[in-house]
Chains A and B, each alone.
Chain A
């Protein structure tokens, strides 16, 4: 007998997408000059046309943000600022389904994830930071810590609205105003968020959204009116930003790439470890900077784990992101798909063994089957470079120290996973791993109360929790440094 799940698509009637969007500056939508299409990566259908922001748009947005900072936002008490954030959190909860559907359409990620993870976390981030706004004296940053002023924020396409929340919520709670640029391929939920700001009656200019591409981002980074840069994206661009602001007084937080190690010891809870491996690399199509993209298995259980992993992978449902039963959606863009294919081909060429379950992939849209490479060593490029797709490299180790050495053998230091039922070993391993976020017997968990960010080339600073506030407040002791 077979239990085929009939299609269970979430209705898209809940969203209305305009044919064309402008920028959101000083509390209103203003027309853009040039536009580019934004598509649904699952179908290649054109959803809308997005304004390509230039230097003059950024100028206007920064001016609006500066004026809002000087005239209104910096004069409001923390208590009042907090109430705006609570309003935003509540409206996001009210309109959660609309945001979930829109995010899935624009990004290609499964509705199950936008509905159960992205959007609830977005609201939670605003709710959490709302409460900080009038308690900053107790954040461990000295008495009455001061905001920087105008924050320029540039966010990626993998968690469009969630990354907006990670940036905007702490910036506003700490008293900064914002010029935000969503990613080129995923602007729609940010533009819908602008409507939320209007519904919340957020003072004009506190949040400004300028859409566009890399050149728009560069205009923000280089704008002299920006006091603070917050960027999430690739390590390459992160380094460019670091260079661009080197001779300025601008501060920066950078959340960059990773090549997270997911270490499974022989005493691991194997079935849950397999779930964690799947969640670690196939969550969000592997478009996750903290993905557990290197599976490091103790050799004695490697065969068993790989066998179970393959069985589990064959249950992954790849397809229509709007279908409530889809586990793995579309790759966000053609460009990203090409990159994933190229790096996978290198894995083949380097002699690693590729395996994927049988998947019926649509001809339209951008798709890549969940894939593992076994027989990988640290010397393989697919063990070193971030693929940012549903591709897992499997390595083995003999001793705990060897596992740690391999895990740390990378310029990145964002995340790591440990699977073991032995408490002392978990603490030992978590002490020795050079990574900003470590998941023990779990993976890819996020919470506004939990700081997130990396060691080494994975970035500067933390987002979330008490630590994340420091990114938006002057600490007093540093001069001319970031």
Chain B
């Protein structure tokens, strides 16, 4: 029933421990009709139904029922930070549900409305609102707006499913990965191991690493470990089966069309091969800054000009399927040997081996790590030579050892309220460096402050707001923060002339005054050193 799913959604938001979340999910999957369960797996893994109504219309239909002016609706939205929730809170609520329909019937109804007129959509959505209680309205709205981000990782869902179906977690993970449509797949079919044969595109769940604590010397004997550069690209899998090739991103997005330059290489890849590696811009076998790739990744169609300016290669570091066989249980050393054979045989400038970096001891590796930025890497991956290829993020066999970020001291000039956990607080800030007597914005950052600090900054913003631009406040340039970031690249789209990679607040410099912050020149110096292409 819709209520069952709404309760699951609320309960998941109320618990923090993984074990509790797993238990809630497993319990849900046990109770829910299979037609609902399949959709929940889909929704929680980002496979949402096609969006049939935009935010503007949805807001309009809500305002029609509440007779609230647009500005008040928007003010409410900025405080809540989530459209689905805002609407659920604004609509009148009797406190009771008059709905006995299961989740999938709502989804089916929404899907059937895809080609209906706005008037028909409105009629259906408003009548659904009137029969659902507040939490049911919230999840119903989320079915339309998409995005069930409630801390349910793929791994967590796999654990929960493995508790109620007779498959190993690794098998479950494999079954729910890749390209499947919850509208045409039954729960039974999804977990039928024979079905993989019919879905030639299916990737394997990615094996992810945790960061090493401090330094890797605690990992033991260096010769049990293999080091590779940690690339700053898009983690991906190349899948080749039955003459068909697929490029998957770690987010399980099928990206085959985005990289037309791969087509010749993929053609040469033998059937029954799955490679794990990094999608990276590269020239003459050497990687280029990731920022270059970002300029073309968002485009629907890649132009010839972009293909020439930013050629993309695949830096392979693992082999998961070989000659049609799942070889994830083999040791890394053995897989690497086979990988090298495969890459050599294909012999394409688009398929490169991600090199193994040799080192005698951890101190030597630490020294090499200092050169990461010059190599357009963000540190090292350290993998146990005897490790199997596991699924999800796990401790023990694979570690990432990232370089320390770059830093700039900057002053906050704009603030905006956050979303979700941080709604109603000013948590999203824009920072500026000095350029003569002017301030130039160069980065936005959200994270990195403690809740207590956020509350202090929030109070400052509320007292020192100068102007209002919609949800954005300009504030007195007074608070200084140290901004950390992973990389820097030239950008024509930004006033400052630079684009930063992963900027965040590393600390609040309450000891510094705004006239002590870094300058635009300092930024451009960093660009010269680390951002050259």
Are A and B co-members of a single complex?
no
Residues of B within 8 A of A (CB): none
Residues of A within 8 A of B (CB): none
